[in-house]
Amino acid sequence: MMRPLSQTFLCFFCAALALWAAAPSEGRAQNALEGLGYVSAMALGAQPKYPPGFTHFDYARRDAPKGGELRLAAMGSFDKLNPFTLKGIAARGIIDLVFEPLAIGSLDEPMAMYGLLAEQMRLAPNGLSMSFRLNPNARFSNGAPVLAADVKFSFDTLRSPQASPIWRNYWADVREAVVVDERTIRFDFIRRNRELHMTVASVPVFSRQWGAGLPFDQWILQTPIGSGPYAVGRVDLGRSIVYERRADYWAKNHPTRTGQFNFDRISFRYYKDVFARLEALKAGEFDFIHENVAKNWARSYKGRPFDRGELKIKELPNSNAAGLQAFYFNLRRPIFQDARVREAIGLAMDFEWMNRQLFYDQYQRSDSYFTNTEMAATGRPDPDELALMERLAQRSGQSLRPELLGPVPMPSLVKGPNGLRENLRRARQLLAEAGWTIQNGVLRNQKGETFRFEILINQRNWERVIAPFARNLAKLGIVADTRVTDNSLYKKRIDDYDYDMMVHWYLSSQNPGNELLFRFTSESAGQPGADNYIGLESALVDAAISHLLSVSSRTEMVTAARVLDRMLRHGHYAIAHWHNRVHRVAYRRGLESPTQIPLYYHSEDWAMAAWWWNR
């Protein structure tokens, strides 16, 4: 499963909703600043889990030993040290280890965040601006203080045309960043947005001295200057990178950092395929792996290193929202513009066979863009959902398709020995209705054009998943080719939307928000690199997303998300894949973790942040 480059850094801030200032008054009077509306933490209408004066997060060990090197593996290659531009592939770990935001979330609550670079935060009474007062101790890796001018420079640079459009879309409703004084920055908003005051807290801050005056898109191999716990050390371009822990790290005793970032060095070594990576783990080339391939987990984590206890395996539970990993159609291709065609192709995927024969029954079928959350739509729309859909239709000038009022589509099931045959019969009927019929064993339309498309991937292990899907499509007269590319070409083709179908994992949170703007809105469909992989342009979906971002209560948000989920699923834009609820990891003897596991986390990120060596 693929993780978007900035997802780890951004996903929490898509979840937050409201200020701690909305809590009962007895939880707010920390100091004189709070009397002016400034707070050090924010949450959903109540106090965050961690009170003022807390010492560390529960999923970190306060007195964890320091030292040693954590060696990790990455796939493919990298060609730049700037993770914020569109072209090229940035080194793994650089956002998480080198850069810091104004405030950071904890991993064991979905709707709270705590000041980091900013020691105090304030939302204006009218909700149209958000102010941050910077911690006077905050320092960049070059020793310079982190000032409001650096925050503004970072924000303005990330919103410029030279940066990836993801950032520009993410803060589309921010009018400007204003330097109030040396250590106070204010963000003025164009309109009220239920989470915008929280998402601006996710601005990754870097020094104005980083690029040495070059245009931002030419900052390629210049060593980043961030405020994070690590700085870039040795770089072997495309092969490996080493991050060195900063001895002068300003926040080493900050409560959001205490007991974390315990390794003197964190390094990534790159591998070309998952099989070479697994053999390298057994050979002792790195120390920790998160395994995504079910076959490998069931059959390959055996042998002498495991028998001797040199390597340990564990399944770590999590409460993560699963989002939706899927085959995604590119609607920019004419053959996919009919929803009946997309539904028919989806009927050819036999998940039950795959799970039994390929995945060792380790997975559950995903069914929603918000899988594993209360935002997933079920059955027929309830009265609140119906009322909202009618308002959105009126607002967007669109009529509601009759199917939107019926049960939400579920992924096709293959039931019994004749289940696949029945699904393919239904698929053939849908294709015929859309003008595609079998002619001499080949599916053609009225123009005589054949039905052939390509599935773009960058890892060969997907070929064994695609092969049975393609065999079933062949029974319908459809030819599905597989194209495997290296990471550099893959990223360029994805950024340019140059594919017929692709595999992607849209992550979600417990509180969907601004990330929806660059995934599913009409404006993002024409922006290269904006994550609208479907090419979706729908006034009704645009209205649903706009409404979701404007609601003020959790109940309204859940209703709005379910309505959006219905619209997306009725469009048959994706063929849902699968998920599990554990992280499958293997690690070297001597690596230890805190006793309390977070709720919402990725295992490798947690290992980098909170594990340690005990030798």
As a three-state string, the secondary structure of 299-329 is HCCCCHHHHCCCEEEEEEECCCCCEEEEEEE
Q: Quick check: helix, strand or coil at residue 451?
A: coil
DSSP H helices in 442-516? 463-474, 487-495
Burial 101-126, CB ≥16 within 10 A → b, else e? bbbbbbbbbbbbbbbbbbbbbbbeee
Does residue 527 come out as left (phi exceeding 0), alpha (psi in the -120 to 50 range) or beta? beta
Is 87 a member of any domain?
yes
What pLDDT, on the 0 to 100 scale, is given for residue 44? 62
* Type and span of the H or E element at 6: none
Same domain? For 498 and 587 the reply is no
**CA gap 118, 183 in Å, rounded:** 9
What pLDDT, on the 0 to 100 scale, is given for residue 237? 96
Same domain? For 570 and 586 the reply is no
How is residue 503 written in tokens?
């595999």
Q: Looking at the 3D structure of the chain, how many domains does it have?
A: 2
Residues 119/133, Cβ–Cβ less than 8 Å: yes
Range of the domain at 146: 7-266+582-613
Same domain? For 575 and 587 the reply is no
Is 283 a member of any domain?
no
Could you tell me the mean pLDDT of each successive run of 10 residues in the chain, 615 residues long?
A: 38 34 30 64 78 95 97 96 95 97 92 92 92 98 98 97 90 95 97 84 96 92 98 97 98 97 98 93 97 92 96 95 96 97 98 95 96 95 97 94 96 94 97 94 92 95 96 96 94 95 92 90 92 97 94 90 98 97 96 96 96 92
* Alpha carbon 548 to chain centroid, angstroms: 19
How is residue 218 written in tokens?
């030419």
- For the chain, first and last CA: distance in Å? 33
| Residue among 246, 177, 180, 233 at smallest CA distance from 205 | 177
Is 236 a member of any domain?
yes
Is 427 a member of any domain?
no
Same domain? For 242 and 371 the reply is no
For residue 205, give the amino acid letter: V
**CA gap 478, 393 in Å, rounded:** 36
How is residue 463 written in tokens?
């070929």
Q: What DSSP string describes 74-143?
A: EES---BS-TTSSSS-BPTTHHHHH-B-SEEE-TT-SSEEEESSEEEEEE-TTSSEEEEEE-TT-B-TTS
How is residue 460 written in tokens?
């060969």
How is residue 570 written in tokens?
């009725």
What pLDDT, on the 0 to 100 scale, is given for residue 82? 98
Residues 216/85, Cβ–Cβ less than 8 Å: yes
* Type and span of the H or E element at 428: helix 419-433
Helices and strands (H, E) in the chain, number of each type: 20, 25
Same domain? For 45 and 193 the reply is yes
Same domain? For 55 and 184 the reply is yes
Strand 174-181 vs strand 265-271: parallel, antiparallel, or unpaired? unpaired
| Residue among 276, 299, 326 at smallest CA distance from 75 | 276
| Residue among 344, 246, 245, 358 at smallest CA distance from 293 | 358
How is residue 224 written in tokens?
């980043």
Is 399 a member of any domain?
yes
Q: What DSSP string describes 271-283?
A: ESSHHHHHHHHHT
Same domain? For 17 and 138 the reply is yes
Same domain? For 79 and 157 the reply is yes
Is 446 a member of any domain?
no
Same domain? For 220 and 193 the reply is yes
| Residue among 143, 112, 71 at smallest CA distance from 511 | 112
Residue 579 to residues 172, 269, 346, 370, 611, Cα–Cα distance (Å): 32, 27, 18, 12, 25
Rg of the chain over Cα atoms, rounded to whole angstroms, equals 25
Is 429 a member of any domain?
no
Same domain? For 520 and 598 the reply is no
Q: What is the CATH number of the domain that holds 131?
A: 3.40.190.10
Same domain? For 240 and 219 the reply is yes
* Alpha carbon 169 to chain centroid, angstroms: 15
Q: Quick check: helix, strand or coil at residue 407?
A: coil
Q: What is the DSSP letter of 178?
A: E
**Cβ neighbours, 10 Å, residue 53:** 8
Same domain? For 537 and 602 the reply is no
Q: 217: Cβ–Cβ under 8 A, 6 or more apart, which residues?
A: 85, 86, 87, 162, 163
Q: What is the CATH number of the domain that holds 532?
A: 3.10.105.10
Is 435 a member of any domain?
no
User: For 459, phi and psi rounded to 5 degrees?
Assistant: -135, 130
What pLDDT, on the 0 to 100 scale, is given for residue 20? 29
